[in-house]
């Protein structure tokens, strides 16, 4: 029996081989570890992504736009067009429907994205509103970045902190339970984190400065994201887990619920690799834009993840099932 979260890796790898009719214009189709499909339009590439929001019913329009835009941006492409399938449970009020549309409109305006259509439905198949987003963007052919582009001796960099999206969802969905259990300051900080889940601007900046690979860690968090990058590139990521930033609000909520912050859904975090000689220039550009970024490791010959803490090799745990599934 399958558990909540992503499909198990081996099942997914087998299923994505069923990719329909061949088309030479498909540069990147279904492929483990890659964030988007890439289609050759002649002079440029079209980058496309489909992703749903299922963990929360709050701010789902905002989340849907941003998580899909993130995946397009980490390929080096500018997100331009968005559409969505909106599924509402029977009995949903008109105000809820309008609220989701308003969230989508605001998020798209913030990122300069046009809403191009979609589908709406009231159905007994869902018990809370669900948004399945579809984002398209364009990139010059020489600017495409993939999850598989990491090369030996590249530095591994992480922006912001682990578990940003999951922390925000936990704070919103479990706010009543958390009152009095964590400080009001930390709870307020956690509830505001949905405003920080975009990586579009930092991803496009990293592409400009020569990122060799980028990835937006979602379900399974930073741990799963690192594993996906290692698998996609065919190299080993040597990671100093002590360097991975974790917000105090994330740490507090994870302690309360008994969760691993590295396995908590992490939209808002950008994982990237690049040649060490280029990193200092990008670091300065990030600093000028107010983006926090931390080198957390290196790319090495080999496979998988080699994790270290206090200079000693430690086990590296990742899972397709997000830590949120233990609570929500």
pLDDT tens-digit readout, 246-299: 999 999 999 999 999 999 999 999 999 999 999 999 999 999 999 999 999 999
Structure confidence at residue 35 as a pLDDT band (50, 70, 90): confident
Average the pLDDT over 211-224 and give the result: 95
Q: What is the pLDDT of residues 283-296, one digit of tens each?
A: 999 999 999 999 99
pLDDT at 195: 82
- Provide the percentage of residues in the chain whose pLDDT is more than 90: 88
User: 212: Cβ–Cβ under 8 A, 6 or more apart, which residues?
Assistant: 145, 149, 150, 151, 154, 273, 274, 275
Average the pLDDT over 308-320 and give the result: 94
Evaluate if residue 33 carries a pLDDT over 90. Answer: no
Name the average pLDDT for the chain.
95
pLDDT at 175: 92
User: 32: Cβ–Cβ under 8 A, 6 or more apart, which residues?
Assistant: 9, 12, 13, 16, 228, 231, 232
Structure confidence at residue 133 as a pLDDT band (50, 70, 90): very high
Strands 213-215, 78-88: pairing kind: unpaired
The pTM assigned to this predicted structure is 0.92
User: Could you give the CA distance from residue 305 to residue 298 in angstroms, rounded to a whole number?
Assistant: 10
pLDDT at 249: 95
Ordered structural domains, the chain, with CATH: 9-143 (3.30.1330.10), 155-326 (3.90.650.10)
Convert the chain into a string of H (helix), E (strand) and C (coil).
Answer: CCCCCCCCHHHHHHHCCCCCCCCCCEEECCCCCCCCEEEECCCEEEEEEEEEECCCCCCHHHHHHHHHHHHHHCCCCEEEEEEEEEEECCCCCHHHHHHHHHHHHHHHHHHCCEEEEEEEEECCCCCCCEEEEEEEEEEEHHHCCECCCCCCCCEEEEECCCCHHHHHHHHHHCHHHHECCECHHHHHHHHCHHHHCCCHHHHHHHHHCCCCEEECCCCCHHHHHHHHHHHHHCCEEEEEHHHCCCCHHHHHHHHHHCCCHHHCCCCCCCEEEECHHHHHHHHHHHHHCCCCEEEEEEEECCCCEEEEECCEEECCCCCCCCHHHHCC
pLDDT at 251: 96
Evaluate if residue 309 carries a pLDDT over 80. Answer: yes
Q: What is the pLDDT of residues 100-113, one digit of tens each?
A: 999 999 999 999 99
User: Could you give the CA distance from residue 240 to residue 297 in angstroms, rounded to a whole number?
Assistant: 6
pLDDT at 72: 97
pLDDT at 1: 87
Between 3 and 226, where is the model more confident?
Answer: 226
């Amino acid at each position: 029996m399958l558990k909540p979260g992503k499909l198990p890796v081996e099942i997914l790898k087998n299923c994505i081989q069923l990719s329909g009719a061949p088309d030479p214009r498909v540069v990147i189709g279904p492929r483990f570890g890659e964030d988007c499909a890439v289609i050759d339009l002649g002079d440029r590439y079209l980058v496309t992504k489909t992703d749903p929001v299922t963990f929360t019913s709050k701010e789902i329009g905002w989340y849907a736009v941003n998580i899909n835009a993130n995946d397009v941006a980490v390929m080096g492409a500018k997100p331009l067009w968005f559409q969505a399938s909106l599924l509402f449970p029977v009995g949903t009020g008109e105000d809820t429907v309008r609220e989701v549309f308003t969230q989508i409109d605001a998020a798209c305006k913030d990122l300069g994205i046009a809403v191009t259509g979609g589908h709406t439905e009231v159905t007994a198949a869902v018990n809370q509103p669900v948004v399945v987003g579809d984002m398209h963007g364009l990139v010059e052919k020489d600017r495409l970045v993939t999850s598989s582009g990491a090369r030996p001796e590249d530095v591994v960099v992480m922006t912001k902190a682990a578990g940003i999206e999951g922390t925000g969802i936990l704070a919103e969905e479990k706010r009543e339970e958390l009152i009095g259990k964590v400080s009001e300051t930390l709870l307020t900080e956690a509830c505001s984190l949905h405003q920080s889940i975009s990586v579009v601007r930092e991803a496009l900046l990293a592409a400009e400065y020569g990122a060799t690979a980028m990835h937006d860690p979602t379900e399974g968090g930073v741990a799963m994201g690192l594993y996906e990058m290692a698998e996609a590139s065919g190299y080993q990521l040597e990671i100093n887990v002590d360097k991975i930033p974790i917000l105090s609000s994330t740490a507090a909520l994870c302690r309360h619920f008994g969760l691993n912050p590295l396995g908590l859904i992490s939209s808002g975090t950008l994982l990237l690799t690049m040649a060490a000689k280029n990193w200092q220039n990008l670091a300065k550009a990030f600093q000028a834009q107010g983006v926090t970024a931390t080198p957390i490791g290196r790319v090495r010959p080999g496979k998988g993840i080699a994790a270290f803490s206090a200079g000693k090799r430690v086990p590296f745990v990742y899972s397709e099932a997000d830590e949120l599934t233990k609570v929500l």
